[in-house]
Amino acid sequence: MNIIFIKRSHGQSRTLTLGNKHIITLGAIITGIIVALIFSGYWVKRNLMLDGDAVMMDVQVINAWERELAQQKKMLDQISKSNGEQVDALTLRLGDMQARLLRIDALGVRLKEVAKIKNDEFDFSQPPALGGPLLAAESMPSSLPSLKGDLDRIAKHIENRQQQLDRLESMFFQRGLDQESFVSGRPVRWGWLSSSYGYRNDPFNGRRTWHAGVDFAGKEGSDIIAVASGVVTWSSERYGYGNLVEINHGDGYSTRYAHCKELLVKVGEVVEKGQVLALMGSTGRSTGPHVHFEVLRKGMTLDPKKFLHRASR
């Protein structure tokens, strides 16, 4: 094989003769260069594709994390809402238990007075004395479920104590220790009966209406007295009654003293028979100074007249 080279300057030429060996060698070199170029291009393309896949995988991982975090936040919000509702429910239960404890304390004070127990033996104005060493295993913080369990146990304990006190009160009455609690007498020292129990003509509109008590008219500011000993369960204003005192005498009996000018006792106070409860006035639905007096048995009004001249025990 002949290869001719021509010079541009003088137009001379030069001939190069190649044998079969040279041709084979040159072909092998050219083939190797082509294969190398093809392999290099494939390698570059493959690496570029791998980099793109890696970027895509990173984006998918980030999206998965964001979804997981969103789900966890939603769960936390639900748990927080549930805990808040449970705390509200426990707060209501706690308020109810405190009210029941106040009633038990008032009843306990009354029973102490009726039974003439020494003041230093049962002091209902102070919390009970408690104590004991704190063990390490017992110093763990309370969880919400355990707190609910504790409240359930306390509520049951209160209910049992209340039942015991009610039974004890009944026993006192059965044994004749309720002499001072026996409802009898007039709610005033001075005054006259101005309206009876039952139907009457209303002093404001003239219509026939029911009168659930009796009225004693008198001088404004005169004493209103308890017809029996007991515990004050109401000492404030009430619609229609004006300033009202209500006393629980036990065994289902209670009395009311209405239209008072001034109240002299407080809720929870233990009062004695004949004690001054308030001063006569004309508050509420009233036409003049008087006391509206009611006697109730288990929430139902009775005619007070049969108690006004009732003989004391």
Q: Is 155 a member of any domain? A: no
φ, ψ at 14 (rounded to 5°): -140, 135
Among 43, 75, 107, residue at a domain's last position: 75
Q: What is the DSSP string of 136-193?
A: GGG-SPPPHHHHHHHHHHHHHHHHHHHHHHHHHHHHHHHTTTTGGGS--S-SBSS-EE
Residue 72's Cβ-side half-sphere holds a number of Cα atoms within 13 Å equal to 6
Mean pLDDT of the chain: 75
Q: Going by C-beta distance under 8 Å and a sequence separation of 6 or more, which residues neighbour residue 276? A: 223, 224, 225, 264
Q: Residue 312 carries which DSSP code?
A: P
Residue 177 reports pLDDT greater than 50: no
Q: Is 112 a member of any domain? A: no
The CATH number given to whatever domain includes residue 295 is 2.70.70.10
Summarize the confidence of residues 179-185 as an average pLDDT.
Answer: 75
Among 41, 75, 109, residue at a domain's last position: 75
Domain coverage including residue 11: 2-75
Among 16, 48, 75, residue at a domain's last position: 75
How would you classify the pairing of strands 2-6 and 198-201?
unpaired
Q: Is 28 a member of any domain? A: yes
**What type of residue is 231?**
V
Q: Pick the most confident of 23-27, 55-59, 211-215.
A: 211-215
Residue 128 pLDDT class (50, 70, 90 cuts): low
Q: Is 43 a member of any domain? A: yes
Residue 180 pLDDT class (50, 70, 90 cuts): low
pTM, to two decimals: 0.47
Residue pLDDT, tens place only, 219-261: 999 999 999 988 999 999 999 999 999 999 888 899 999 999 9
Are 283 and 303 a contacting pair, CB within 8 Å? Answer: no
**Residue 235 has what pLDDT?**
94
* CA–CA dist 256, 240 (Å, integer): 13
Summarize the confidence of residues 149-178 as an average pLDDT.
Answer: 64
Residue 282 reports pLDDT greater than 70: yes
Summarize the confidence of residues 187-212 as an average pLDDT.
Answer: 90
Phi-psi region of 269 (alpha: psi -120 to 50; beta: other; left: phi over 0): beta
- Total domain count for the chain? 2
Q: Is 143 a member of any domain? A: no
* CA–CA dist 185, 292 (Å, integer): 14
Residue 55 reports pLDDT greater than 70: no
Q: Is 105 a member of any domain? A: no
**Residue 236 has what pLDDT?**
95
What percentage of the chain has pLDDT greater than the value 70? 55
Summarize the confidence of residues 15-25 as an average pLDDT.
Answer: 61
**Residue 112 has what pLDDT?**
63
Q: Is 151 a member of any domain? A: no
What distance lies between CA 9 and its chain's CA centroid?
112
Q: What sign for the dihedral angle of Cα 273, 277, 279, 282? A: negative
Are 232 and 226 a contacting pair, CB within 8 Å? Answer: no
Q: Which of 79-83, 115-119, 135-139, 231-235 has the lowest mean pLDDT?
A: 135-139
Beta-bridge mates of residue 217: 192, 290
**Residue 149 has what pLDDT?**
72
**Residue 126 has what pLDDT?**
59
**Residue 54 has what pLDDT?**
52
Q: Which residue has the tokens 């110093």?
A: 139
**Residue 70 has what pLDDT?**
74
Q: Is 176 a member of any domain? A: no
